[in-house]
Amino acid sequence: MSNATTLIHSIPVDPLTGSISVPIYQTSTYVQEAPGVNKGYDYARSNNPTRETLEKIIAQLEGGKRGSAFASGLAAIDAVVKLLQSGDEILAVDDIYGGAFRLFTHIYAKFGIKVNYTDTTDVVNVIDAITPNTKLIWLESPTNPTLKISDIAAIAKIAKQNNILLCVDNTFASPALQRPIELGADLVIHSATKYLGGHSDLIAGLVVSASEEIGEQIKFIQNASGAILSPHDSWLVIRGVETLGLRVKQHCINAQRVAEYLEQHPAIDKVFYPGLKSHPNHEVAAKQQSAFGGIVSFTLKNDTEEAAKNVVCATKYFKLAESLGGVKSLLCHPATMTHKSIPAEKRQSAGVADSLIRLSVGLEEVEDLIKDIEQALQKANTSAEIAAII
């Protein structure tokens, strides 16, 4: 794992001036001494020193060879898919991020790239779902919003035996908690919009490659397709990295407390948090992560959309919004927000019940957060009572 000292000192002092903060090179082009004679930079889509600093930092933090910074997490995912060719297949985790599902289904299907989904928490399912055309295995661990965990090392082994690339979306854990390349992954992607940025103030994506060769291909795609991260947003992600260790540590402490509180609450049906002994993949999570992250999901005994809506509209500190991983606590109702486009039956069979609520536990005093949830949950009871009367 990347500890606080590694994280803070992964950020270099500017060799030119000694500036302790990384300079923002807000430029489109670089003056050349003669045609083709330059200082290693010719055009800012291809290379920018601020972006390049972030790319080196993330490569180091994930233990990879090369990093590439993109305009969003989805642009990072898109770049990885572009390693493939028409006729190739992706084998993906069934509880995949909705935006990745949309990209695969509505963009890449028409270019002849097929995606098969399986429950990757069971390694046997992965073995069974591989076809001769499978060229990429796509994992998220933990997943969104039911926090499923897949055994990255075991699946990496299977991928290697079959000559298949393994890419892990490490957004929920961040390199502070989990380093998939050390577990055998070929590629890691991040929505740096979340924990790496950490302040809910930017959209950014990162790809890290375990080998120089794949790193070169991703860099070629980055320049050829052009979805680069701006110098200013690169700087914001770098600044986020400085406090990533401290933030994530506290997110985990707060989330564990909130999860334990919810687990004993009479209005709650299920709590999804890999740090709970009751989580079906707790052991695997404990093996591959140094702690369990800041996201907690739960369902209500009164499993209705109405009850969940009453709760999410009643919190004061947990703000109702999509996204996660920032300093401020957020909550959302996937059935009517992030997962709205998935048919109800498919959504429910994936564990996203009508009353499921996802918390991104922030850095406020945890006692205040628990009090906030306590008073909001009374609204769920009220709703149940009303329903009983009607």
Query: Distance between CA 14 and CA 21 in Å, rounded?
Result: 7
Q: Which is nearer to ligand PLP, 228 or 380 (CB)?
A: 228
Closest contact distance (angstroms) between CB of 204 and ligand PLP is: 6
Return the residue of 48, 144, 338, 355 that touches ligand PLP, per CB under 6 A: 144
Choosing from 65, 99, 158, 246, the residue that interacts with ligand PLP (CB under 6 A) is 99
Among the residue ranges 186-194, 215-223, 230-238, 244-252, the one whose residues contact ligand PLP (CB under 6 A): 186-194
Residue 52 found at the interface with ligand PLP (CB under 6 A): no
Say how far apart CA 330 and CA 317 lie, in whole Å: 8
The whole-angstrom separation of Cα 55 and Cα 73 is: 14
How many angstroms from the chain centroid is the CA of residue 8? 21
Residues 200-229 that bind ligand PLP (CB under 6 A): 203, 205
| Binder among 95, 140, 151, 233 for ligand PLP (CB under 6 A) | 140
- Give me the least distance between CB of 74 and ligand PLP, in Å please: 4
Determine, following the binding rule CB under 6 A, whether residue 74 of this chain makes contact with ligand PLP: yes
Q: Is the peptide bond before 15 cis (omega within 30 degrees of 0)?
A: no
Q: Which token pair is 228?
A: 């680069």
Strands 134-140 and 89-93: parallel
Burial class (CB in 10 A: 0-12, 13-18, 19+), 221: buried
Q: Is the CB of 23 or the CB of 99 nearer to ligand PLP?
A: 99
* DSSP assigned state of 12: P
Of these, 118, 171, 234, 297, which contacts ligand PLP (CB under 6 A)?
A: 171
Task: Give yes or no for residue 72 binding ligand PLP (CB under 6 A).
Answer: yes
Which of 121, 174, 178, 191 touches ligand PLP by CB under 6 A?
Answer: 191
Which residue stretch of 37-45, 80-88, 164-172, 211-219 sits at the interface with ligand PLP (rule: CB under 6 A)? Answer: 164-172
Instruction: Give 202-217 as a 3 state SS string.
Output: CCCEEEEECCHHHHHH
Q: Which residues are catalytic?
A: 45, 97, 169, 194
Question: Which has the closest alpha carbon to 166: 144, 150, 142?
Answer: 150
- Least separation in angstroms between residue 106's CB and ligand PLP is 15
| Choices 39-47, 167-175, 225-233, 262-270; region in contact with ligand PLP by CB under 6 A | 167-175
With binding defined as CB under 6 A, does residue 94 bind ligand PLP?
A: no
**DSSP string computed for 158-227:** HHHHTT-EEEEE-TTT-TTT--GGGGT-SEEEEETTTTTT-SS----EEEEESSHHHHHHHHHHHHHH--
Q: Which residues pair with 43 in a beta bridge?
A: 29
> Given candidates 25, 95, 97, 366, which one binds ligand PLP under the rule CB under 6 A?
97
Q: If DSSP codes are grouped into helix, strand and coil, which group holds residue 31?
A: coil
Residue 73 touching ligand PLP (CB under 6 A): yes
Torsion-angle region of residue 120: left (phi > 0), alpha (psi -120 to 50) or beta?
alpha
3-state secondary structure of 246: helix
Other Cβ atoms less than 10 A from the Cβ of 301: the count is 15
Count of residues touching ligand PLP (by CB under 6 A): 15
**Quick check: 78 binds ligand PLP (CB under 6 A)?**
no
The residues of the shown chain that bind ligand PLP, judged by CB under 6 A, are 72-74, 97, 99, 140, 144, 169, 171-172, 191, 193-194, 203, 205
